[in-house]
Amino acid sequence: MKRLVCMLLCLAAFGMAEAQRLTSPDGGLSLDFHLSPDGVPVYSLRYKGKTVIGESRMGFRIAPDYEFDRGFEQTDVRFSETDSVWQPVWGQYRDIRDRHKEMCVALCQPSTGWLLNIRFRLFDDGLGFRYEFPVQKDLRNFTLKEEMTEFRLTGDHKAFWLPGDYDTNEYPTTTSRLSEVASLIDSVRTEPLAVRSFTPNLAVQTPLMLKSSDGLYINVHEAALVDYPAMQLNLDDKAFCLSAHLTPDKNGAKGFMQTGSVTPWRTVIVSDDARDILASNVILNLNEPCKLEDTSWIHPVKYVGVWWEYFTGQGSTWAYTANQDIKIGETDYSKEIPNGTHGANTAHVKEYIDFAAKHGFDAVLVEGWNEGWEANFAYVKERIYSFTKPYPDFDVEELHRYAAERGVKIIMHHETTSSVSDYERQMEDAFRFMADHGYDAVKTGYVGPIIPRSEHHDGQWMVNHYLRVVKTAARYKVMVNSHEAVRPTGLCRTYPNWIAQESARGTEFESFKGNRPDHTTILPFTRLMGGPMDYTPGIFEGDLSVYGSNKARLSTTLAKQLALYVTMHSPLQMAADLYTNYEKYPDAFQFIKDVATDWDDTYILEAEPGDYVTIARKAKGKNEWYVGGITDENAREAEIDLSFLPEGKRFQATIYADGKKADWRTAPKDYVISSRKVDGKTVLKQRLAPGGGVAVSIKEL
Ligand code: NOJ
Ligand code: CA
C-alpha cells in the first residue's frame, strides 16, 4: 500500500523532476536543486555568477541502517515569495525586512514509501534550507544516524574556526586556510578549558566564517535550533567539503525524531563585501515570530556585578566557607580553596547597589549568593547547588528592599556546573523564588561536563533543556542570559526573554591571558551571527598584575573596551570592571553610562574579519548615535563617515580615542577625550593604537 501511494504521487508528478532553480529577489544569488541519477538530492549556490557552494548532497542516514539520502523521486515543487517587515522586541534595527523567495521540494523514496520535504529560502544576502518530515503512514519515530548535508566549497578558503567539540565553544578562534586546520588543531585543543569533547574526526564549529581568494565572504551556520542536536562540520581538507556532523548523545544517537517535525535551517550568508555579513538578518528572519503574548516586561539591561573581583584574585570567593573535607578519590581539594571573603555578603552587595543607583545602571549581578559553591572550582557533583537557599550572610529580603528603593534590580545567578537534571528538579521553585523576591533576570551557567546523564552541551537533550529554561522563565517574567550553553541560532526572535548568551570566549578569559587582540574583530562574524553576546566588556585596568601574582594583561586598550559596547551587540551589557576602577576614570566611564543597548538602526561602516570593525548605531527612540571602531594588534586609521546623520542638523560628538602612546601591551590606559561639532557631511579619521579602538557618542545640538 505504502509503495502504491508513493508511486501514485510520483506518477502524478511525472515530468516535474527536472532541475529546479530559485533566484534571490534582487537576482544576485541563485540556487539549483536536482536529483542525481541515483535519486540523491543535490543543491548548489551561486553569487553574482560565482560558485559559492558546488554540487552538494542532502539527506539522512537513519538508524539502524537506512539510507534516506538516495533513491528519491520528486513528487512536487512549490514556489512562493514574501516581502514583509517586522519589529523585534529589542535589537539592532527597529524594523526588519523579510524579503525572500521560497521553493519547497517534496520527495518520496519508493523503496520505503517515506516522504521528505526540503524547503529553501533565498534572500538577497543568503540561503536558508531545512528538512521537513511530513506526517506519513509508514514513518513515525526514528533515530538519526547522521545528517548528510554537504557544503562543498570551491577552494582552500581562509577560515575563522573553532575545533569541533560537543561541549564547548570557549576556544580562541584560529585563522588559517582550510588545508591548515589539521596541522593546527592539536595546538588549539591544548587551550585551558574546563571541559572538552573533541569530535572524533576533523571538524570545526559553526558559525564558520570563510573568505575565498576571489573575495567572497561566506558564513555557514544554522537558524532555529529546536529539538535537534547542534551541527558541527566535518572538514574534508582535500575536497574542501564541509558536511554536517550532528552532536551525538552519549550512546552515539544523533537525534530522536518524529514525523511532523522540521530540522533547523542550514544557513549560508554570502557577499563580496564583509559589511553585508554583519548587516544580515537572514538568521533572525528564518526564526519564528515572537511566541510570547506579553513582552512588556522585557527590557534592555545595563548592569554591574559582584564578578570581576572573583577573577582578579583578590581573595573574594563565591563560596561562603572554605570547606575542609572535600576529598575526591585521592585528591584533597580542600587545601586549594582560598581562604577568602565571601563576595556576596549583604553589605558588599549594597555597595554595588549604591554604585548602580548613582550611575544609572539597571541592575547588579550577584554570583555566589546561594548554597553549594564549596566544591564548584573542582566541578564535582558531591555538593549540589540550591537555587532557593541563600548563604547566611546574603539577606535576600533586605537586599530586595534596598535595591527596589533605589530603582535597581538584582540579577539572579544559577550556576549548575552542568548538574542539569538537578537543576530541572529545582527549576520551578527557583523561578518562583525569583518572582517572590523581585528578580526579573537570571544568568545561568553550565560549566563542566554534563552529569549524571552524560549528555553533551550541544546535543539534542541539552538543546531542549536551554529552551525549557527560557520558556519556564517567561512564565515568571524572567529574562535569561545563558553561559556555556549551545551557541545561539536566532531564537531570541521567538523568545525575546532569551536576552543574551555567552557561548564563546568572553572577557573572563582576559584574566588568564586567554584572548588575543583580534578576538573581538572576529566574534561579530562568528558567534554574534546567532544572537547577542554577554561579552562583559568595560575593563579599565588593563594591567592585571596590579592585583598581585596574576600577570595577565588585557588584550585591548581602554578606548577599545568602550568601543566594544557598540561593536558587540547585546541588549544586556555589563560594566564588568571593579567599580573602584570606574571611580578613577569618570570621564571615560561617561561613555558606558551614556551608551544605548537597544537600537533603531545600525550602520556597518567598515569591516574585515580578524582585522577591524567599525559600527554606528542610532539609539532606540532617541536622537543619539554611538560609534565603535576596533582593530586587531595592528594600528590603523578608522574612517567614520557620518552620512547616516539626518540632513540639515548639527550635532555634538564626544570622541573617546586612544592616546598617542596607547598600545595594548605597554600603555592600555592612554586615552584622550575630545569634543567637536559634526553633521552628515563629516568624516572622522581616527587613529587606533595596536589593540586599540575608538568610541564616539553623538547628540543633537
Ligand atoms: C563561567 C561564567 O562564564 C562566568 O561568568 C561565571 O562567573 C563562572 N562561570 C561561575 O559561574
Ligand atoms: Ca564561560
pLDDT in tens, 112-149: 999 999 999 999 999 999 999 999 999 999 999 999 99
pLDDT for 194 beyond 80: no
pLDDT mean over 478-504: 98
pLDDT for 447 beyond 70: yes
Give the residue among 153, 161, 197, 207 at the shortest CA–CA distance from 182: 161
Q: What pLDDT score does 16 carry? A: 47
What percent of the chain clears pLDDT 70, i.e. is strictly above it? 92
Work out the pLDDT band at 380, boundaries 50, 70, 90: low
- CA of 483 from ligand 2 middle (Å) equals 6
**Which residue's C-alpha comes closest to atom 7 of ligand 1?**
307
Higher-scoring residue by pLDDT: 234, 18: 234
pLDDT mean over 336-353: 83
Cα–Cα dist 255/490, whole Å: 21
- CA of 549 from ligand 1 middle (Å) equals 21
- Which residues in 289-446 belong to E strands, given as ranges? 301-306, 316-317, 327-328, 331-332, 341-342, 363-366, 409-415, 441-445
- CA of 448 from ligand 2 middle (Å) equals 10
**Which residue's C-alpha comes closest to atom 10 of ligand 1?**
415
Residue range 534-545, pLDDT digits in tens: 999 999 999 988
Beta bridge partners of 232: 245
User: Which residue of the set 508, 510, 541, 606 is catalytic?
Assistant: 508
CA 545 to chain centroid: 30
**Ligand 1 atom nearest to 310, measured from its CA:** 7
Residue range 664-675, pLDDT digits in tens: 999 999 999 999
CA 147 to chain centroid: 23
Which of 189-203, 210-224, 490-504 is least confident? Answer: 189-203
Sign of the C-alpha dihedral computed for residues 507, 512, 517 and 521 taken in this order: negative
Query: Which residue from 412, 447, 512 has its CB within 8 A of the most atoms of ligand 1, so it is best to mutate?
Result: 447
Overall fold of domain 2-285: Beta-galactosidase; Chain A, domain 5 (2.70.98)
- Integer angstrom CA distances of residue 507 from 97, 241, 510: 33, 33, 5
**Which residue's C-alpha comes closest to atom 6 of ligand 1?**
445
Q: What pLDDT score does 493 carry? A: 98
pLDDT for 408 beyond 70: yes
pLDDT mean over 246-259: 94
Residue range 297-325, pLDDT digits in tens: 999 999 999 999 999 877 788 888 765 55
- Cβ burial of 200 (10 Å; 0-12, 13-18, 19+) is exposed
pLDDT for 336 beyond 70: no
Cα–Cα dist 619/635, whole Å: 29
Cα–Cα dist 104/117, whole Å: 7
**Ligand 1 atom nearest to 415, measured from its CA:** 11
The backbone region for 296, taken as left when phi is positive above 0, alpha when psi lies in -120 to 50, beta otherwise, is alpha
What percent of the chain clears pLDDT 90, i.e. is strictly above it? 84
pLDDT for 9 beyond 60: no
Residue 609 DSSP SS3: coil
pLDDT mean over 418-434: 94
Q: What pLDDT score does 13 carry? A: 47
- CA of 519 from ligand 2 middle (Å) equals 15
Give the residue among 407, 408, 419, 413 at the shortest CA–CA distance from 433: 413
pLDDT for 257 beyond 70: yes
Could you check whether 2-285 and 290-321+342-503 share the same CATH topology?
no
Q: What pLDDT score does 262 carry? A: 98
Query: Which residue from 306, 366, 367 has its CB within 8 A of the most atoms of ligand 1, so it is best to mutate?
Result: 367
Query: Which residue from 412, 415, 534, 572 has its CB within 8 A of the most atoms of ligand 1, so it is best to mutate?
Result: 415
Q: What pLDDT score does 382 carry? A: 55
Q: pTM for this structure? A: 0.96
Ligand 1 binding pocket, CB closer than 6 Å: 307, 367, 415, 445, 447, 483, 502, 506, 508
What residue segments make up the domains of the chain, in order of their start?
A: 2-285, 290-321+342-503
Give me the numbers of helices (H) and strands (E) for the chain, helices first please: 13, 41
- CA of 188 from ligand 2 middle (Å) equals 17
Residue range 610-630, pLDDT digits in tens: 999 999 999 999 999 999 999
Cα–Cα dist 496/289, whole Å: 10
pLDDT for 12 beyond 80: no
Beta strands at 203-204 and 50-57: parallel, antiparallel or unpaired: unpaired
Q: What pLDDT score does 341 carry? A: 83
- Integer angstrom CA distances of residue 313 from 223, 552, 692, 698: 39, 11, 26, 38
Ligand nearest to the CA of 411: 1
pLDDT mean over 432-456: 90
Work out the pLDDT band at 631, boundaries 50, 70, 90: very high
**Which residue's C-alpha comes closest to atom 11 of ligand 1?**
415
Ligand nearest to the CA of 369: 1
Question: What rounded mean pLDDT belongs to the chain?
Answer: 93
- CA of 526 from ligand 2 middle (Å) equals 17
**Ligand 1 atom nearest to 413, measured from its CA:** 11
Work out the pLDDT band at 251, boundaries 50, 70, 90: confident
Which of 279-283, 388-392, 655-659 is least confident? Answer: 388-392
CB 384 within 8 A of CB 419: yes
DSSP 476-495: TT-EEEEESSPPP-STTTT-
**Which residue's C-alpha comes closest to atom 3 of ligand 1?**
483
CB 377 within 8 A of CB 337: yes
Q: What pLDDT score does 14 carry? A: 43
pLDDT for 1 beyond 60: no
Work out the pLDDT band at 11, boundaries 50, 70, 90: very low
> Using the 8-state DSSP alphabet, how is residue 103 labeled?
E
- CA of 229 from ligand 1 middle (Å) equals 24
Q: What pLDDT score does 327 carry? A: 59
- Integer angstrom CA distances of residue 57 from 33, 35, 101, 152, 633: 10, 9, 21, 9, 40
Which of 49-58, 149-158, 249-258, 265-274 is least confident? Answer: 249-258
Higher-scoring residue by pLDDT: 356, 314: 356
CB 516 within 8 A of CB 554: no
Work out the pLDDT band at 642, boundaries 50, 70, 90: very high
Cα–Cα dist 191/158, whole Å: 22
Ligand nearest to the CA of 484: 2
pLDDT for 244 beyond 60: yes
CA angle, residues 80, 86, 91, in degrees to nearest 5:
130
> Using the 8-state DSSP alphabet, how is residue 399 labeled?
H
- CA of 646 from ligand 2 middle (Å) equals 41
Cα–Cα dist 429/687, whole Å: 53
Work out the pLDDT band at 694, boundaries 50, 70, 90: very high
Domain 290-321+342-503 in CATH: superfamily? Aldolase class I (3.20.20.70)
Residue 538 has which C-alpha cell?
A: 568595560
Task: Mark whether 508 is an active-site residue.
Answer: yes
Q: Which residue do the cell numbers 562543498 mark?
A: 152
Cα–Cα dist 679/451, whole Å: 57
Give the residue among 283, 101, 262 at the shortest CA–CA distance from 207: 283
